[in-house]
Amino acid sequence: MTVDSTPSELKPLDFRSDTLTRPDEHMRSVMAAAEVGDNVIDTDPTIRALEERVADVLDKPAALWTPSGTMANLIALSTHLRRGDRFLAPRGAHVLVNELGSAAWLAGGMPDPLDHDAGPGRPRPETVRAAAGGTGPYYTLRTTLLSLENTHNAAGGVAIPPDEHAALVAAAHDAGLRVHLDGARIWNASVALGVPPATLAAGVDSVSACFSKGLGAPVGSVVAGSTEFVEQARRMRQMLGGGVRQGGVLAAACLVALDRVDELAEDHAKAATLAAGLRELGWDVTEPQTNIVLAKVEDVNATLDSLRALGILTLPMGGKVRFVLHRDVTSDDVTEALSRIGKGLSA
């Protein structure tokens, strides 16, 4: 393979996102065979089975399937917030920058981004306490929610360890705030830290998680919390148009996805290999903790174009180049990408 091959001759190596993963034959056959019912009128047995299993895995009283992680977060924020409430979230959080402002537009919340002063992806508990303020006169702004994210996507897929998670939840609760956890990639955090997902969702009032990323399901997320929370969340899901009928065919994919959480370790290993290789080539990359590699470059758009010319697809994230490793890119693809970059692109 020569450097001046045109992209059309090169096998595309797609590192844009772990959402690119496609359902394989096994997942499709389980979906096709799923037992179903009308999940709006009464219940769909496969959705119910998924919700029960997820509630168990996350150690919450109840869980609710949703079509997307964006809807899961919106449902949680809408349930926790009243119009005009301020909520706190680490700067760059998905709920702040990647959900089109729905936290404000639909959930009525006023966002207050917190600096990552405890390390990438997380504020210090004291910062949460200070930002929460306290009770004041009747004309004081109400701050009612802390929304965390684990792993933190924009910070490069960093996994927040259980002790730091617990300290943040305690600080928020002490200040009278509820806590939502955007755990779109809580599975990656769990695998990277070697702790059960429930440990990383301990104490929170709600947690969302995705199956449509590195786990390969085509559709599906979940939001979990108390029984009362999920009752409210179910009404909100219906209001948002997320009440599907024979959704069991989709939930079946999520059940298969749940069986594959351990396999995320392979994505993390591929990310480490890619980061090490890029560093050898003189790139400025941070050591990945999970499946995301962020590279600091002079000119992001120019680098994205140069990579594309080599048949390597990536996306920008916070002014850096983001490579996401997933089950549909192999170790050989990583080797091939490094070889193309080595021949065709200087750092």
Ligand X SMILES: *Cc1c(COP(=O)(O)O)cnc(C)c1O
Considering only residues 60, 80, 94, 326, which one is a binding residue for ligand X as defined by CB under 6 A?
A: 94
3 state SS of 147: strand
Q: Counting contacts by CB under 6 A, is residue 68 touching ligand X?
A: yes
Q: Are strands 284-285 and 292-296 parallel, antiparallel or unpaired?
A: antiparallel
Residues 241, 67: Cα–Cα separation, whole Å = 10
Asked if residues 61 and 226 have their Cβ atoms less than 8 Å apart, the reply is yes
Q: Counting contacts by CB under 6 A, is residue 188 touching ligand X?
A: no
Q: Counting contacts by CB under 6 A, is residue 175 touching ligand X?
A: no
Q: Counting contacts by CB under 6 A, is residue 286 touching ligand X?
A: no
Q: Counting contacts by CB under 6 A, is residue 191 touching ligand X?
A: no
Q: Counting contacts by CB under 6 A, is residue 221 touching ligand X?
A: yes
Burial of 221 from C-beta contacts in 10 A (0-12 / 13-18 / 19+)? buried
Compute the least distance from the CB of residue 46 to ligand X, in Å: 19
Q: Counting contacts by CB under 6 A, is residue 290 touching ligand X?
A: no
- Only segment of 64-72, 101-109, 247-255, 310-318 that touches ligand X (CB under 6 A): 64-72
Residues 71, 242: Cα–Cα separation, whole Å = 8
Q: For the beta carbon of residue 212, count every other beta carbon within 10 angstroms.
A: 23
Q: Counting contacts by CB under 6 A, is residue 326 touching ligand X?
A: no
In terms of CB distance, is 68 or 273 closer to ligand X? Answer: 68
Token output for 38 = 């009308």
Q: Which of 123, 93, 125 is nearest to 109 (CA)?
A: 93
Considering only residues 21, 39, 46, 70, which one is a binding residue for ligand X as defined by CB under 6 A?
A: 70
Tokens 């702790």 map to which residue?
195
Compute the least distance from the CB of residue 219 to ligand X, in Å: 8
Write the DSSP assignment of 126-139 as a string of letters.
HHHHHHH-----TT
Question: Binding pattern to ligand X, positions 192-211, x when CB under 6 A?
Answer: ------------------x-
Asked if residues 205 and 178 have their Cβ atoms less than 8 Å apart, the reply is yes
Token output for 263 = 């396999």
Q: Counting contacts by CB under 6 A, is residue 186 touching ligand X?
A: no
Q: Counting contacts by CB under 6 A, is residue 150 touching ligand X?
A: no
Q: Counting contacts by CB under 6 A, is residue 121 touching ligand X?
A: no
Q: Counting contacts by CB under 6 A, is residue 190 touching ligand X?
A: no
In terms of CB distance, is 90 or 344 closer to ligand X? Answer: 90
In terms of CB distance, is 128 or 207 closer to ligand X? Answer: 207
In terms of CB distance, is 45 or 113 closer to ligand X? Answer: 113
Considering only residues 39, 58, 65, 69, which one is a binding residue for ligand X as defined by CB under 6 A?
A: 69
Considering only residues 147, 153, 286, 303, which one is a binding residue for ligand X as defined by CB under 6 A?
A: 153
Task: Collect all residues with Cβ–Cβ distance below 8 Å to 78 and sequence separation of at least 6.
Answer: 106, 107, 108, 236
Considering only residues 13, 184, 222, 249, which one is a binding residue for ligand X as defined by CB under 6 A?
A: 184
Compute the least distance from the CB of residue 102 to ligand X, in Å: 10
What are the DSSP E strand ranges found in the chain?
13-14, 62-66, 86-90, 110-114, 143-149, 178-183, 206-210, 221-225, 284-285, 292-296, 312-313, 315-317, 320-324
| Chain positions contacting ligand X, by CB under 6 A | 68-70, 73, 94, 149, 153, 182, 184, 210, 212, 221
